[in-house]
Amino acid sequence: MLTAEDFFNLENNRFKELFAGTDYVWEGLKNIKAFIDDYLEPNVMSLRKGDVRIGSTLVLYNGEVFSEDFEIDTAGKRAVVRKNGAVLEGASIIYAGAYLMDDHIYIGKDTVIEPSALVRGPALIGDRTEVRHGAYIRGNVLIGDDCVVGHTTEMKSSVMLGGSKAGHFAYIGDSILGAVNLGAGTKLANLKMIDTPVSLNIRNRVYETGLRKFGAIMGDGVETGCNSVTMPGTLLSGNVLLYPNCTARGYYPPDVMIKVSQDQQIKNLE
């Protein structure tokens, strides 16, 4: 009920080892730093050249960096890079005005870092992912394939396992997200107002997480409405729907709808 496999499909997932040896899904949060230390292979040194701000649009392709003689076609769903008329399959684009704060960053294939996005390492960004204008990645962040870190979305000490979308104005702190979609303004609160670690009361059993900062665990298929909030230590199982302007707290089993609060109008999806 509370293992990583209960929340996520981890088959062939690049971050599967984050949960090795864990009994409970939230224990993956404790492993983020060690996982990054073991698996991060930075590839932005040649992009940065010691600078923080990217001065001109660059293309990263098979370990090479191109600063000129390429074209970017944005007519389709995904930007396409051409050089000398040939499509550079898997080329990533780092637009002028993006900020790469240090060298402890990996950028995957076919990924886009838009102007004014700020990435602070350590951070691993997967393939076919968009880090949009004004996004703020604060370090100790793992972002999988096919993800969106949207406009003014902030992430720190968190994981997007893949297919995770946070398109607009979200805060994601000390959290693990599966293939989810966060509505605009979703906030995952990660720090209790009372100075004690987060504990979870699930089906009359108390679990001491030992985590002072703990946002949310969101299983595959979770969707949140605009301006929704999760309290520290919230667990949303697969396919939970959190309605706009609602607050969730505690554990929710799969396939429920949260329309007002934890105790009101939780209905099974049928």
Query: What's the token pair of residue 244?
Result: 């706009």
Both structure tokens of 1: 């009920």
Q: Which helix (H) or strand (E) holds 267?
A: strand 264-268
What does pTM read for this prediction?
Answer: 0.94
Per-residue confidence at 77, pLDDT binned at 50, 70, 90? confident
Average pLDDT over residues 153-171: 98
Q: Say yes or no to pLDDT of 101 above 70.
A: yes
Domains of the chain, residue spans? 4-40+122-268, 43-102
The CATH architecture one would assign to domain 4-40+122-268 is 3 Solenoid (2.160)
CB of 138 closer than 8 Å to CB of 122: no
Both ends of the chain: CA-CA distance in Å?
21
CA distance linking residue 240 with residue 242, whole number of Å:
7
Q: Using alpha carbons, list the distances in angstroms from residue 200 to 21, 43, 72, 223, 257.
A: 20, 39, 49, 22, 20
Mean pLDDT of the chain: 95
pLDDT classification of 268: cutoffs 50, 70, 90: very low
Mean pLDDT in residue range 95-103: 98
Convert the pLDDT of each residue in 10-28 to its tens digit.
Answer: 999 999 999 999 999 999 9
Say what the pLDDT of residue 264 is.
Answer: 52
Instruction: Supply the pLDDT for residue 270.
Output: 43
Q: Is the pLDDT of residue 221 over 60?
A: yes
Spatial separation of the C-alpha atoms in residues 100 and 54, rounded to whole Å: 7
pLDDT at 124: 98
What's the pLDDT score for residue 265? 45
